[in-house]
């Protein structure tokens, strides 16, 4: 009987551990998504500021269109890397579960 109680407790402990891991992972994902949204909004606001300053600045202060294009391309590449890193991490954590 001691053995069956021990096995039942072991099974219950394992289930609690798995559920806790799932809960923590969901919290991690939610936090990462919230952070991504926050930085996306900040980035969009900064892009708008840059565009506005391009229209209001005098010619000596304006960035060349090539430079603006390079900045935009760089931002897009950073976004792609963040997305793929996020996807990789979430998939690898799901596979471990």
The rounded distance, in Å, linking the Cα atoms of 76 and 52 is 20
The rounded distance, in Å, linking the Cα atoms of 90 and 32 is 10
Predicted confidence pLDDT, tens digits, the chain (97 residues): 788 999 999 999 999 998 998 898 889 888 988 998 998 899 889 888 888 887 777 777 777 888 888 988 998 998 899 889 888 887 877 777 6
Tell me what pLDDT residue 34 has.
92
* The overall pTM is greater than 0.85: no
Tell me what pLDDT residue 53 has.
82
| Residues 6+ positions from 54 with CB-CB distance below 8 Å | 62, 63, 68
Tell me what pLDDT residue 68 has.
84
């Amino acid at each position: 009987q001691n053995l069956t109680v021990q096995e039942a407790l072991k099974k219950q402990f394992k289930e609690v551990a798995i559920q806790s891991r799932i809960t923590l992972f969901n919290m991690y994902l939610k936090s990462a998504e919230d952070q991504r949204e926050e930085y996306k909004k900040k980035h969009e606001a900064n892009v708008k500021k840059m565009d506005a300053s391009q229209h209001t600045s005098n010619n000596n202060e304006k960035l060349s269109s090539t430079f603006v294009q390079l900045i935009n391309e760089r931002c897009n590449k950073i976004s792609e890397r963040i997305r793929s890193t996020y996807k990789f991490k979430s998939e690898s954590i799901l596979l471990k579960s």
